Amino acid sequence: MTISVSDLEAQLSQLQDEALGAIASAAALDDLEKLRVRFLGKKGEVSKILGGMGKLDGKDRPVIGKKANEVKTALTNGLDEKRTDLQKTALEAQLKAEVLDVTMPGTYATQGRAHPLNSTIDRLLDILVGLGYTVASGPEMESDYYNFESLNTPPDHPARDMQDTFYLPDGNLLRTHTSAVQIRYMENNEPPIRVVAPGRVYRRDTVDATHSAVFHQLELLAVDEGLTFGDLKGTVKTFLKEIFGDLPIRFRASYFPFTEPSAEVDVQWQGKWLEVMGCGMVDPNVMKAVGYDSEKYTGFAAGLGIERFAMVLHQMDDIRRLYGSDLRFLRQF
């Protein structure tokens, strides 16, 4: 069968009209993609018509090629325009369906609460930072040197019996107090210093209503020229007044290996004397361990158990409540 140029041109023109009509009637982007494949794909309608070009004379083929390109361009433009229209229509429908009514009430989301232990730490730090102290931290796994020896507690010192320690197989230990942070800080900073070190500590203690094997301490340290026990008392009294209010405070002589002289501090809470912290002037041997001149500098330190403060301030009867994660208990704070 002989195919003429006019036949192929007529088929291409008819195909163009049919395709543009189908494109104009497309209702969705998926339908539009199917039409593109149907008419312009490798096995599409245009390719089928162009398959007859092999039966044309060589001089006639450029004519059909030009016509085919015009048809492809027309269909491509039609597809692009229709695609833009469909996307615009879809966006308008989405915007209409998702209109935000600013007069509608919002969805209530329950706010979290600070754990009483964390809120107590924050409260204590706010006071001490306000007094000019810098917050410092250190590792919970310590060496014997930082936990004991540098704090004037050599291996045969009886004070080691005061703190039943968790020793690790590698010779290190879980720190029994945050005083080790003070040693590390002094090693890397020259006086004058004002530092407060809160953190978790560990002791081999029997767990009951007032004791725990894992608890939190906060210790403060000040080193400068001319500091006296009077400066220590003034700092402690100001700190405790901010916490407990204007209550009677007393200092009782005590013993700590890293301070001399040392004292325990009590407040008269609800008619009874309550021990709340220990303190003292930094022992010259501790100054020597960090390379400070004890003839030039003096210092004072004080430490407290954060759980005890939380229990007193929130009137708790059992330290274990702080670790129980009982929402009925925590929702009270």
Element (H, E) at 116: helix 116-130
Beta bridge partners of 304: 218
Q: Tell me: the pLDDT tens digits for 119-136?
A: 999 999 999 999 999 999
CA neighbor of 35 nearest in space, from 50, 25, 69: 25
Residue type, 232: L
Whether 275 and 264 have beta carbons less than 8 Å apart is answered as yes
CA neighbor of 293 nearest in space, from 186, 220, 194, 197: 186
Q: Is the bond preceding 139 in cis, omega lying within 30 degrees of 0?
A: no
Rounded CA gap, 153 and 159, in Å? 7
Element (H, E) at 310: helix 306-313
Rounded CA gap, 108 and 122, in Å? 27
Pairing label, strands 141-142, 272-282? unpaired
Q: Tell me: the pLDDT tens digits for 32-57?
A: 888 888 877 777 777 777 676 666 66
DSSP state, residue 304: E
pLDDT at 2 over 70: no
pLDDT at 286 over 90: yes
Assign 59 a pLDDT band (cuts: 50, 70, 90): low
